[in-house]
C-alpha cells in the first residue's frame, strides 16, 4: 500500500466506515419494521394473531444473523490471499445485490432466504476493512483502526436505523430496503474511488486460515465476545417494554432511548479502540467491569426517565467498547490467521444477538418482569470474564509466534502484538 496524503487517508477510512454504516442499518432496521413486514408477508397469520405474525417475521432477523455466523469464517478463509480492495468492492456489491433481492422478494420464504444471503459478507467485510484500516493508520493503532470501521455500525444506530425505519413506516418496508441498497451502492463506489490498492496475503490458504480454530485462546475469545454481546442484546432487544412497562413512559420515548443507546455505542467504540491499543486483554477485563457497573446503573435508575437514559447510554458505551477490544484480542491470538480473526468477532457478536434475545424472552415469559433481561446481562458477564481468564491462561506461557506462523505474512507482521505475553 503506497503512502497517502492525510486527506486521501481520511477519505479511504470514510469509505470503509460507510460500508459499516450500511451494514449497521441493514442489520437493525428490521427490528423496527417487523410489524409492517409481518402484515405484508404473512397476512393470513396477521389477521389471526398479530403477535404470532410478528414472531414469525422475527425469522427474518434470525436469517440475517445466521448468514453472518456462517459467512464470516467461510468467506474470510477463501479470500485471504486476494487483493483487499478487490475483495471489499465485491463484498460491498454483494450487499447491494442481496439488499435489493430482500426488497423485491415476493414471498416470506424468499425474503428469509435473501436476508440469509445478504448476511454472508458481513463478517468478512468488517474483518478485511479492519486490516486495511490498520495499515492506513499505521503501527500501534490497530484497535483504533478497528474502532473506526465499526464506527459506521454504531453511528447507524443513531442516524441510519431511525431514518430508514421512519421511511419504512411512511412508504413501506420494501422502499426502505431499497434505500439501504442505495447506501451500499454508494459505499461500493466510494471504495473504488478512495481505497488504495492493498495486497492480500499471498501465502494464505484456507487451511492456514482455518488453523485459527486449533488455538484454544481463539475459542475463549469468541466465547467471551458471544457472552458479552449476549448480555448487551438481552437489554437491546427489549428496550421498548423496558421504556413503557418499567419506566412507565409513552412509546414516543422509545426512539429517544434508542438514539441515546446509539450515542453511547458510538462514544464507547472509540474509547474501546484506544484501550485496545494499550493492551487488548487488559481492556477486555476493564470493560467487563464497566459493563457490570453500567447494568447496575440501569437496574437502579430504570424507574425514572433520566435514570433510564443514563443507564442505556452507559450500557451501550460499555458494550460497544468491548467490540474492538475483543476483535483486537482475536487478532493477537490467531497467529497468521489474521483475516479469519478479524472476521470472527462478528460471528461472536451475532451469536450474542441471538443468545441475548432468546434468553431475554425466556426470563420475560417466566414472569420475572421486563427488567429481568438486564439482570440476565449481569449473569452473562460471569462466564464472559471466566472465558477471558481462561484465554489468558491458554497463552500465558507463549514466547512468541513460531517461524511457521509468521513466514511471509504481511498482515501478521502489520497487526501482530508488540509482545507475545497477553496484556
Q: For residue 297, which of 268, 317, 279, 278 has the smallest C-alpha distance?
A: 317
Cell 497487526 belongs to residue: 415
Q: Is the dihedral of CA 227, 17, 266, 133 positive or negative?
A: positive
Range of the domain at 181: 1-200
Question: Does 71 lie in the same domain as 33?
Answer: yes
Question: Does 239 lie in the same domain as 273?
Answer: yes
Distances (CA, A) of 107 to 103, 119, 168: 11, 18, 18
Contact 364, 370 (CB under 8 A): yes
Say which DSSP state 371 is in: T
Identify the burial level of 33 via C-beta atoms within 10 angstroms of its C-beta, where 0-12 means exposed, 13-18 middle and 19 or more buried.
buried
For residue 410, give the C-alpha cell. 504481511
Coil vs helix vs strand at 121: coil
Question: Does 220 lie in the same domain as 183?
Answer: no
Between the two ends of the chain, the Cα-to-Cα distance in Å is 29
Question: Does 183 lie in the same domain as 237?
Answer: no
* Residues 36, 50: Cα–Cα separation, whole Å: 11
CATH number, position 88: 1.20.1250.20
Question: Does 233 lie in the same domain as 189?
Answer: no
Question: Does 219 lie in the same domain as 183?
Answer: no
In the chain, the number of structural domains is: 2
Contact 356, 315 (CB under 8 A): no
Question: Does 360 lie in the same domain as 295?
Answer: yes
**CB hemisphere CA count around 343 (13 angstroms):** 30
For residue 194, give the C-alpha cell. 478512495
For residue 284, give the C-alpha cell. 477486555
Instruction: Mark out the alpha helices in 50-83 (DSSP H runs).
Output: 50-79
**CB hemisphere CA count around 129 (13 angstroms):** 36
Question: Does 259 lie in the same domain as 275?
Answer: yes
Cβ neighbour number for residue 401 with a 10 Å cutoff: 16
Question: Does 216 lie in the same domain as 174?
Answer: no
Instruction: Mark out the alpha helices in 172-279 (DSSP H runs).
Output: 173-194, 206-210, 216-236, 239-241, 253-277
For residue 46, give the C-alpha cell. 396477521
Coil vs helix vs strand at 405: helix
Residue where a domain stops, chosen among 172, 200, 228: 200
Residue where a domain stops, chosen among 137, 166, 200: 200
pLDDT in tens, 139-151: 777 778 778 888 8
Question: Does 244 lie in the same domain as 110?
Answer: no
Say which DSSP state 195 is in: S
* Residues 274, 356: Cα–Cα separation, whole Å: 27
Residue where a domain stops, chosen among 200, 228, 250: 200
Q: For residue 195, which of 408, 13, 379 has the smallest C-alpha distance?
A: 13
pLDDT of residue 407: 33
Question: Does 267 lie in the same domain as 127?
Answer: no
Instruction: Mark out the alpha helices in 80-107 (DSSP H runs).
Output: 84-104
Sites in the chain below the pLDDT cut of 70:
1-3, 201, 203-205, 397-423
Scored b (16 or more CB within 10 A) or e, 351-365 reads: bbbbbbbebbbebbe
Question: Does 125 lie in the same domain as 85?
Answer: yes
Helix axes 253-277, 280-301, angle to 10 degrees: 160
Amino acid at each position: 500500500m503506497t503512502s497517502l496524503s492525510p486527506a486521501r487517508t481520511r477519505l479511504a477510512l470514510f469509505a470503509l466506515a460507510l460500508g459499516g454504516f450500511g451494514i449497521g442499518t441493514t442489520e437493525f432496521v428490521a427490528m423496527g419494521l417487523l410489524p409492517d413486514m409481518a402484515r405484508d408477508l404473512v397476512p393470513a397469520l396477521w389477521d389471526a394473531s398479530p403477535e404470532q405474525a410478528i414472531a414469525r417475521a422475527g425469522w427474518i432477523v434470525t436469517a440475517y444473523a445466521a448468514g453472518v455466523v456462517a459467512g464470516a469464517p467461510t468467506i474470510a478463509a477463501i479470500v485471504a490471499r486476494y487483493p483487499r480492495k478487490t475483495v471489499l468492492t465485491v463484498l460491498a456489491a454483494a450487499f447491494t445485490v442481496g439488499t435489493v433481492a430482500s426488497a423485491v422478494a415476493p414471498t416470506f420464504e424468499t425474503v428469509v432466504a435473501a436476508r440469509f444471503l445478504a448476511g454472508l459478507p458481513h463478517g468478512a467485510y468488517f474483518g478485511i476493512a479492519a486490516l486495511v484500516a490498520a495499515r492506513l493508520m499505521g503501527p500501534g493503532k490497530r484497535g483504533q483502526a478497528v474502532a473506526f470501521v465499526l464506527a459506521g455500525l454504531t453511528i447507524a444506530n443513531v442516524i441510519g436505523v431511525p431514518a430508514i425505519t421512519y421511511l419504512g413506516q411512511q412508504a413501506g418496508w420494501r422502499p426502505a430496503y431499497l434505500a439501504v441498497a442505495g447506501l451500499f451502492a454508494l459505499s461500493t463506489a466510494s471504495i473504488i474511488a478512495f481505497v488504495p490498492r492493498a495486497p492480500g496475503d499471498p501465502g494464505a490458504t484456507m487451511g492456514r486460515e482455518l488453523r485459527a480454530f486449533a488455538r484454544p485462546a481463539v475459542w475463549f475469545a469468541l466465547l467471551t465476545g458471544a457472552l458479552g454481546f449476549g448480555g448487551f442484546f438481552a437489554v437491546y432487544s427489549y428496550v421498548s417494554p423496558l421504556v413503557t412497562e418499567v419506566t412507565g413512559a409513552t412509546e414516543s420515548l422509545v426512539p429517544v432511548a434508542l438514539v441515546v443507546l446509539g450515542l453511547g455505542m458510538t462514544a464507547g467504540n472509540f474509547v474501546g479502540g484506544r484501550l485496545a491499543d494499550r493492551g487488548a486483554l487488559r481492556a477486555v477485563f476493564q470493560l467487563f467491569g464497566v459493563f457490570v457497573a453500567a447494568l447496575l446503573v440501569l437496574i437502579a435508575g430504570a424507574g425514572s426517565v433520566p435514570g433510564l437514559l443514563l443507564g442505556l447510554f452507559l450500557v451501550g458505551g460499555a458494550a460497544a467498547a468491548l467490540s474492538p477490544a475483543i476483535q483486537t484480542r482475536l487478532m493477537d491470538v490467531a497467529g497468521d490467521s489474521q483475516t479469519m480473526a478479524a472476521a470472527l468477532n462478528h460471528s461472536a457478536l451475532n451469536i450474542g444477538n441471538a443468545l441475548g434475545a432468546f434468553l431475554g424472552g425466556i426470563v420475560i415469559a417466566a414472569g420475572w418482569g421486563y427488567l429481568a433481561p438486564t439482570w440476565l446481562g449481569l449473569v452473562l458477564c460471569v462466564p464472559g470474564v471466566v472465558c477471558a481468564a481462561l484465554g489468558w491462561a491458554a497463552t500465558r506461557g507463549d514466547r512468541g509466534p513460531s517461524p511457521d506462523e509468521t513466514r511471509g505474512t504481511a498482515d501478521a507482521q502489520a497487526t501482530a502484538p508488540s509482545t507475545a505475553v497477553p496484556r
